């Protein structure tokens, strides 16, 4: 869902130039359940996890865990502008494959390819992995062998949403790290840039998420970037669902043969601010990806897009709720199902 980002050293200048090519004035440089037969099963599992996970899970074993993770996220936020979308994106990719169990963080070993080596994950930014590594090292220095990598990633993603101007929400904790990380299991568990609404509905329903969750989580594209190859097909056989000015501007940076060396912001109006402008852009046919713009074209999702475009607080509330529900997908509990890694990239690093 969340795609990739350019290098932090050059993307600020590029973004401003891109925005100026669209606008005469520079931009800021600013539940309904899905139809699914397994919904009741997902709901029962979520209620059970709500009881097993808790905001104060580490109140005795590592009471300062959120402060420790926050020390890293706040520092990295100041150092590199790609930290926020990189980490939020990483969390999404983790939760949708094997569940929120930090399996995305495991490095390949021997002949087997880990989850992060799958084609769909190759554009994940290294900054996201590095932030979790640094946070884990700091937490381990104070509370060795206590806090899971999965919980650290969940906390870090929340921190970056808030640092970018988005909502602050409580993170339930108590996840264990997964014991399985295989590239072959990624498959169709992640959305694509040209996914149809039907495909998105089926995918999100398989994770026990609602239609409003789906549209709200797509709103994370209020920050972040996508490489040309994810939308170039919309430019040279003009897509009637893309604003002509945006098409013209994108052609300047994205040659017809595609390529992955250039990236542009999802949100061409306020690319560095977590707000609801993404939805207003969809109303103006300024969605970068076909899968984004489809949310406004489809009568099932259009009313939700319109409601969130109209009311930022409604979006914030829906996004926070959706992140909490997503954070419960496939959670592992106990030694029979999970582990507590000392090194997030290595299985069994106890």
pLDDT in tens, the chain (350 residues): 544 444 444 454 455 555 555 554 444 443 333 444 344 555 555 555 555 899 999 999 999 999 999 999 999 999 998 999 999 999 999 999 999 999 999 999 877 899 999 999 988 999 999 999 999 999 999 999 999 999 999 999 999 999 999 999 999 999 999 999 999 999 889 999 999 999 999 999 999 999 999 999 999 999 999 999 999 999 998 899 999 999 999 998 898 876 667 889 999 899 989 999 999 999 999 999 999 999 999 999 999 999 999 999 999 999 999 999 999 999 999 988 999 999 999 987 55
Euclidean distance between CA atoms 273 and 2, whole angstroms: 16
The reported pLDDT for the residue numbered 205 is 97
The reported pLDDT for the residue numbered 314 is 98
The reported pLDDT for the residue numbered 152 is 99
Contact 122, 71 (CB under 8 A): no
Question: Could you confirm whether 50 is annotated as catalytic?
Answer: no
Give me 206's structure tokens: 């398989």
Catalytic choice (42, 50, 93, 337): 93
Instruction: Tally the C-alpha atoms within 13 A of residue 286's C-alpha that lie toward its C-beta.
Output: 23
Give the angle subtended at the CA of 163 by the CAs of 161 and 120, to the nearest 5°.
40
Instruction: Tally the C-alpha atoms within 13 A of residue 173's C-alpha that lie toward its C-beta.
Output: 25
From 3.40.50.2300, 1.10.3720.10, 1.10.420.10, 3.30.1950.10, which CATH number describes the 11-32+193-323 domain? 1.10.420.10
Quote the radius of gyration of the chain (alpha carbons, Å).
19
Euclidean distance between CA atoms 260 and 292, whole angstroms: 19
Q: Which residue has the tokens 């997964």?
A: 178
Domain ranges, ordered by start, for the chain:
11-32+193-323, 61-189
- Output the CA–CA distances (angstroms, integers) from residue 209 to 17, 94, 316, in the order listed: 38, 15, 17
- 94 annotated as ligand-binding: yes
Architecture of domain 61-189: Orthogonal Bundle (1.10)
- 64 annotated as ligand-binding: no
Q: How far is CA 133 from the centre of its chain?
A: 18
- 230 annotated as ligand-binding: no
pTM of the predicted model over 0.75: yes
Task: Determine if residue 341 is left, alpha or beta; phi over 0 gives left, psi from -120 to 50 gives alpha, anything else beta.
Answer: beta
Contact 213, 204 (CB under 8 A): yes
- 115 annotated as ligand-binding: yes
Q: Please tell me whether residue 37 adopts helix, strand or coil conformation.
A: coil
- 267 annotated as ligand-binding: yes
The reported pLDDT for the residue numbered 52 is 83
The reported pLDDT for the residue numbered 322 is 98
């Amino acid at each position: 869902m969340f795609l990739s980002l350019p290098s932090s050293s050059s993307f600020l200048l590029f973004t401003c130039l891109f925005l100026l090519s669209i606008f005469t004035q520079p931009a800021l440089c600013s539940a309904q359940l899905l139809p699914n037969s397994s919904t009741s099963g997902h709901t029962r599992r979520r209620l059970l996890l709500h009881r097993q996970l808790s905001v104060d899970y580490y109140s005795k074993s590592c009471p300062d865990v959120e402060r420790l993770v926050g020390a890293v996220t706040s520092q990295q936020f100041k150092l590199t502008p790609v930290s926020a979308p990189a980490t939020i994106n990483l969390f999404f990719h983790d939760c949708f494959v094997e569940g929120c169990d930090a399996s995305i963080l495991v490095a390949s070993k021997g002949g087997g390819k880990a989850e992060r080596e799958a084609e769909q994950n190759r554009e994940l930014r290294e900054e996201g992995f590095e932030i979790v590594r640094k946070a884990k090292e700091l937490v381990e220095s104070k509370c060795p062998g206590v806090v899971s990598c999965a919980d650290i990633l969940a906390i870090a993603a929340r921190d970056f949403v808030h640092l970018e101007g988005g909502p602050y929400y409580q993170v339930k904790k108590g996840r264990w790290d997964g014991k399985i990380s295989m590239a072959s299991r990624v498959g169709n568990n992640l959305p694509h840039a040209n996914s149809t609404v039907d495909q998105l509905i089926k995918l999100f329903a398989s994770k026990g998420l609602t239609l409003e969750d789906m549209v709200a989580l797509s709103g994370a594209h209020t920050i972040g970037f996508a490489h040309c190859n994810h939308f170039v097909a919309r430019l040279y056989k003009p897509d009637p669902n893309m604003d002509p000015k945006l098409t013209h501007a994108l052609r300047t940076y994205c040659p017809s043969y595609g390529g992955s060396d250039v990236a542009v912001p999802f949100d061409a109006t306020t690319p560095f601010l977590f707000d609801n402008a993404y939805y207003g852009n969809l109303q103006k046919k300024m969605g970068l990806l076909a899968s984004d713009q489809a949310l406004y074209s489809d009568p099932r999702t259009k009313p939700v897009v319109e409601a969130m475009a109209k009311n930022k607080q409604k979006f914030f509330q829906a996004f926070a709720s959706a992140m909490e529900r997503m954070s419960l997908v496939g959670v592992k509990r106990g030694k029979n199902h999970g582990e507590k890694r000392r090194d997030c990239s290595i299985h069994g690093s106890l």
